[in-house]
Amino acid sequence: MTRDYRVLPASRVSGTLRVPGDKSISHRSLMVSALADGTSEVTGFLASEDCLATLNAMRALGVAIEQRSATHVLIHGVGLQGLEAASQPLDMGNAGTAMRLATGLLAAQRFASQLVGDASLMKRPMERVAKPLREMGALVFTNGGTPPVRIHGGRRLHGIDYAMPIASAQVKSALLFAGLYADSATTVVSPAVSRDHSERMLTSFGVRVETDGLRVRLHPPQDLRALDIEVPGDFSSAAFFIVAGLLGADPAGLIIENVGMNPSRTGLVEILTRMGARIEILNARQSGAEPVADLRVHRSALRGIAVPPELVPLAIDEFPVLFIAAACAAGETLISGAEELRVKESDRIAAMAAGFAALGVAHEVQPDGIRIAGLPIGSDTSGPVFTGGEVDSHGDHRIAMSFAVASLRAKATIRILDVANVATSFPGFSALARGIGFDIQER
């Protein structure tokens, strides 16, 4: 079913809101709890299509999971050796995280598995996990690099010392999950910092994981202890409202409560601050293994910058909405070293550039990023930037939500096509956006 957004220009957002639970942590909470001895209770779970794909996959592997409410889940762990073969291929939907992490987990099982997904996922690269898993001794096959992923199982895995060619948390996590079953320690070295939710969660379940800079070493455990997890709000979902607040908050500021502030995720705050954003971090606290805070976002005049490439992995999912902020800044923004954006749920550089072309935003696409012209330096940055028009999200949730944020600087209605996949990460986005002042209709 295709769905569209019709977003009318709005100029002000105000109030206090909370975004749904973190997607990365929700996926991991299901997989790690499933391997523990005992029952784990997860609150703040993200009941989005992506995480429900993982939930259904874990059930298909023999794990009893009770959903007391959409966001409250009980996982009755089966222990490290307790998973059972699924009777059918596991359908991971749109979720790259689910497929890559599950590949690591299933590579180490006694039984065979097959992983499939939707049209977008079936085109995404899987050799990045399959290749190092083979080095560990696993039998993992892709279809010329993409899904279906076929895993033979029944192999004894060996710990390896793997230098990842890309800073991918999904690859790192897949290897750590496989490493739980290896006959020696597994070491993964990243070329740059990537999100560390797996390391934090496995440690709190009792696994010995040592981190030394960009090097992570996991020692295979005897068992995992069940643990209750409170999932914080997803920083990547908050990102749309952070940029909305910068473009349109009323004088009191827009408040976003209970946001996960893991430093491997918050590169966007650093980038936007360099662009002149005023984002207050309030009530910084710890929620289990993860840092959390409330944010107060003030309307800010932004200026373009060259985004330091080392910040790219720390903001990897936030680039579509950063592109919107950059279009509204005074002066040029240059994004480079971001070729990974081309292999996300869509080619995010191409999808954003096509939207910019439709909405009159000057830009120049580059193989590893984009140059966004921004407004003339010294000009008023509070006026309209985007013409009205029609943009195609290419079925990519983050492209759809980013162009909705553009309505705060639009001259006329923006129609966003193919937005059903917003439900993969952010159920309730349009209602929440309406609640703070967006004029957004979903059809």
Q: How far is the CB of 375 from ligand S3P (least distance, A)?
A: 29
- Tell me how far apart the alpha carbons of residues 124 and 117 are, in angstroms, rounded to a whole number: 10
Q: Is 73 in the site for ligand S3P (CB under 6 A)?
A: no
The sign of the torsion formed by the CA atoms of 311, 312, 317, 320 equals positive
Q: Which range binds ligand S3P by CB under 6 A, 11-19, 163-171, 263-271, 368-376?
A: 163-171
- Tell me how far apart the alpha carbons of residues 43 and 40 are, in angstroms, rounded to a whole number: 10
> Are 398 and 316 within 8 A, CB to CB?
no
Give SS3 for 191.
coil
Q: Pick the binder of ligand S3P from 142, 170, 381, 407 (CB under 6 A).
A: 170
Q: How far is the CB of 218 from ligand S3P (least distance, A)?
A: 16
Does the annotation mark 234 as catalytic? no
> Are 62 and 83 within 8 A, CB to CB?
yes
- DSSP letters spanning 243-274: HHHHHHEEEEEEEEEEEE--TTTTHHHHHHHH
Q: Pick the binder of ligand S3P from 33, 97, 120, 407 (CB under 6 A).
A: 97
Q: Is 317 in the site for ligand S3P (CB under 6 A)?
A: yes
50 or 294: CB nearest ligand S3P: 50
Show contacts with ligand S3P in window 331-370 (CB under 6 A).
Answer: 340
Q: Is 168 in the site for ligand S3P (CB under 6 A)?
A: yes
- Tell me how far apart the alpha carbons of residues 367 and 71 are, in angstroms, rounded to a whole number: 40
> Are 37 and 77 within 8 A, CB to CB?
yes
> Strand order of the sheet with strand 5-8?
389-392, 414-417, 5-8, 439-442
**Which helix (H) or strand (E) covers residue 306, if one does?**
none
Find the residue with minimal CB distance to ligand S3P.
24
Give SS3 for 122.
helix
By CB under 6 A, the count of residues binding ligand S3P is: 11
The one catalytic residue in 22, 317, 392, 418 is 317
* DSSP class of 47: -
Q: Where are the beta strands (DSSP E) in 190-336?
A: 208-212, 215-219, 229-230, 249-260, 278-287, 290-298, 333-335
177 or 386: CB nearest ligand S3P: 177
Show contacts with ligand S3P in window 403-442 (CB under 6 A).
Answer: none
Q: Which range binds ligand S3P by CB under 6 A, 135-143, 157-165, 166-174, 207-215?
A: 166-174
Q: Pick the binder of ligand S3P from 194, 266, 333, 424 (CB under 6 A).
A: 194
Q: Is 316 in the site for ligand S3P (CB under 6 A)?
A: yes
Q: Which range binds ligand S3P by CB under 6 A, 32-40, 71-79, 156-164, 167-175?
A: 167-175
Q: Pick the binder of ligand S3P from 29, 56, 173, 300 (CB under 6 A).
A: 173
Q: Pick the binder of ligand S3P from 13, 83, 99, 195 (CB under 6 A).
A: 195
Q: Is 24 in the site for ligand S3P (CB under 6 A)?
A: yes
Dmax over CA atoms of the chain, in Å, equals 65
Q: Which range binds ligand S3P by CB under 6 A, 66-74, 76-84, 169-177, 376-384?
A: 169-177
Burial of 1: CB neighbours in 10 Å, binned 0-12, 13-18, 19+: exposed
198 or 333: CB nearest ligand S3P: 198
155 or 195: CB nearest ligand S3P: 195
The tokens describing 264, both together, are: 């491997």
Q: List residues binding ligand S3P (CB under 6 A).
A: 24, 97, 168-170, 173, 194-195, 316-317, 340
What residues are labeled active site? 317
